[in-house]
Amino acid sequence: MMKVLAILPVLIPFFAAILTLFFGKRIFAQRVIFSVSSGLVLLVSFFLLEHAFNTGIFSFQAGGWDAPFGISFVVDKLSAIMIAISGLMAFASSFYAFATIDKEREKFGFYTLLSTLFMGINGSFLTGDIFNLYVWFEVMLMSSFVLIALGGTKPQLEGAVKYVTLNLISSTFFLIAVGILYGMAGTLNMADLAVKIPAHPEGWLTTTVALLFLIAFGIKSAVFPLFFWLPASYHTPPAVVSAVFAGMLTKVGVYAMIRVFTLIFSNNPEITHSVILVIAGFTMLVGVLGAAAQNDIRRILSFHIVSQIGYMIMGLGLNSPIAVAGAVFYIIHHIIVKTNLFLIGGVIKEIRGTYSLEKLGGVYKAYPLLGLLFLIPALSLAGIPPLSGFWAKFSLVKAGLESEAWFITALSLFVSILTLYSMMKIWNEVFWKDTPPEFDVTDRYSEFSVSKKVLLIAPAVGLAIVTIVIGFYTAPFFDAASSSASELLNKTGYIESVLRLK
């Protein structure tokens, strides 16, 4: 039974993608299929969470070949958490997509691509084989390439070129690193690698490969100095596409980084984890400074993704149980909040027809509740108590102080002030100031049908509620993050489960 459940987060989107193809031009059926399938993934993820937290790590071998020869699928606490969030994001964004995506895109296979995208994302979270991880990355990337270019407007095509080129280079680095790793250890199974790589006689080679992986996942998760593709492309596609990308895609890179650097390359932290920590500091600072110079809602938010990635890998770089717990909690918090901010940005665009801070204004006067809805994720992103972002930053700062990493801790606090500045900039320009008289403002909200209004606002409200719940009822979420962190740092459980040593 558990075997079936563990593979379902991959199979459900796969069959949804095939089914949507059968309904070519019938958009309503495609919408229902995508929405139901993402709801099902969310449902399955609860069973996975229940199993991961109550029974322990579950692993099985696809095709029946025992590890390390077969391809392993592993459900540990971190995978289960990530699957749950990915299900939630797919479910929330599906409603938003119904309201905002135009008919042409829907007829051109929008839901098929979104399904295969989530298939790739879920596969990356579940696999226990490093080459299989590469394949899932490619599944995810291929769908995202088409999704970002779908529609073919000029900015989209140009954004797609930047996105595609740099991600292909990252895939090549990944492939090279996997090849060398196989040459060193003769295995691709991550649990088997976790046994063989730390025991490898040539330590310098291990470090080299570790840094190659850092470059590969660093480009994918947009860390300094490899992030330039992100703010050049994420503001071009339709709002729901950039919301899903902003929430999920870079976090798959961070997940892969956490997985590889806790499981396989954890024996030489003086080099690898110090490099990660330095990168984390630069990523935080450069991202937030980049955001301060922007004048477009989505570009500001894109630069903030970069900045926030810095916090997550700061947790990884500090490499203590509480720091990794902070990183995991930060991922949970960030995916929800960031997707929500992009969705709300999209709502503003739907109403006023622009993302430009210059041309917007007076939104709070016209829609006070929308202003409130924006403030919840915005303040959470900046880390204002008692919202979820505060606890995420609190645990990272605590970890930094415990590890006596004074500089990065001070930097992280300084960056959160700048984050607040950026959020207040959006608030002042979009919501608070008067509508600029020189620009012709057409307010389209009253023209929307009731169903469109509901579909537009409901996902944002739902995600805002989740943010508040995590903020006020932190304990179970933080316990989950810290127990998954201790599972990550104590890798024997993972190895024993996959290799059937018990």
- Contact residues: other proteins, CB under 8 A: 131, 135, 138, 142, 145-146, 149, 152, 154-155, 157-162, 164-165, 168-169, 172, 175-176, 178-180, 182-183, 186, 188, 232-233, 235-236, 294-299, 355-357
Q: Least distance in Å: CB of 9 to other proteins? A: 22
Torsion of CA 220, 88, 24, 145, to 10 degrees: -10
**Shortest distance (Å) from residue 158 CB to other proteins:** 5
Specify the residue, 142 or 420, whose C-beta has the smaller distance to other proteins.
Answer: 142
Q: How far is the CB of 21 from other proteins (least distance, A)?
A: 17
Residue among 473, 457, 309 nearest 391 (CA): 473
Q: How far is the CB of 165 from other proteins (least distance, A)?
A: 6
Backbone angles phi, psi at 26, to 5 degrees: -85, 95
CB nearer other proteins, residue 109 or residue 383 = 109
3-state secondary structure of 293: coil
- Residue nearer to other proteins on the CB measure, 5 or 176: 176
| CB-nearer residue toward other proteins: 81 or 139 | 139
- Give the list of residues 6+ apart from residue 90 with CB closer than 8 angstroms, or none: 13, 34, 38, 41, 42, 114, 118, 244
From the CB of residue 447, how many other CB atoms can be counted at a distance below 10 Å?
9
How many Å apart are CA 348 and CA 355, to the nearest integer?
7
Tokens 């995810």 label which residue? 140
Is-contact 399 323, C-beta < 8 A? Answer: yes
Provide the phi-psi class of 187: left if phi over 0, else alpha when psi is between -120 and 50, else beta.
beta
Cα separation, 470 vs 390, in Å, equals: 10
Least distance in Å: CB of 186 to other proteins? Answer: 8
| Beta carbon nearer to other proteins, 149 or 381 | 149
Q: Which is nearer to other proteins, 37 or 206 (CB)?
A: 206
DSSP state of 434: P
CB of 411 to other proteins, least distance (A): 28
- Compute the least distance from the CB of residue 98 to other proteins, in Å: 26
CB of residue 295 to other proteins, shortest distance in Å = 5
CB atoms within 10 A of CB 446: 7
Tokens describing residue 255: 């997940």
Q: Between 222 and 232, whose beta carbon lies closer to other proteins?
A: 232
As a residue count, the chain comes to 502
Strands (DSSP E) contained in 189-288 are none
Question: What is the secondary structure of 22-66 as a DSSP string?
Answer: HTTT-HHHHHHHHHHHHHHHHHHHHHHHHHHHHT--EEEEETTPP
Helices (H), 101-228: 103-107, 110-126, 130-149, 154-185, 190-196, 203-220
Cβ proximity to other proteins, 253 vs 326, nearer residue? 253
Alpha carbon separation from 19 to 29, 42, 104, 327, 399 (Å, rounded): 9, 19, 19, 37, 47
Q: How far is the CB of 188 from other proteins (least distance, A)?
A: 8
Closer to other proteins by Cβ: residue 162 or 398: 162
CB of 45 to other proteins, least distance (A): 28
- Give CA–CA dist 308/328, Å, rounded: 13
Rounded least distance, CB 171 to other proteins, Å: 8
Cβ nearer to other proteins, comparing 212 with 258: 212
* Burial (0-12, 13-18, 19+ Cβ within 10 Å), 425: middle
User: Residue 442 carries which DSSP code?
Assistant: -
Q: Smaller CB distance to other proteins: residue 168 or 489?
A: 168
Q: How far is the CB of 354 from other proteins (least distance, A)?
A: 8
Cα–Cα distance measured from residue 162 to residue 148, given in angstroms and rounded to the nearest whole number: 11
Q: How far is the CB of 419 from other proteins (least distance, A)?
A: 19
For residue 123 the two structure tokens come to 């596969």
d(CA 351, CA 378): 19
Nearest residue (CB) to other proteins, 181 versus 375: 181
- Pick the closer one to other proteins by CB: 165 or 451: 165
3-state helix, strand, coil in the chain (%, to 5): 75, 5, 20
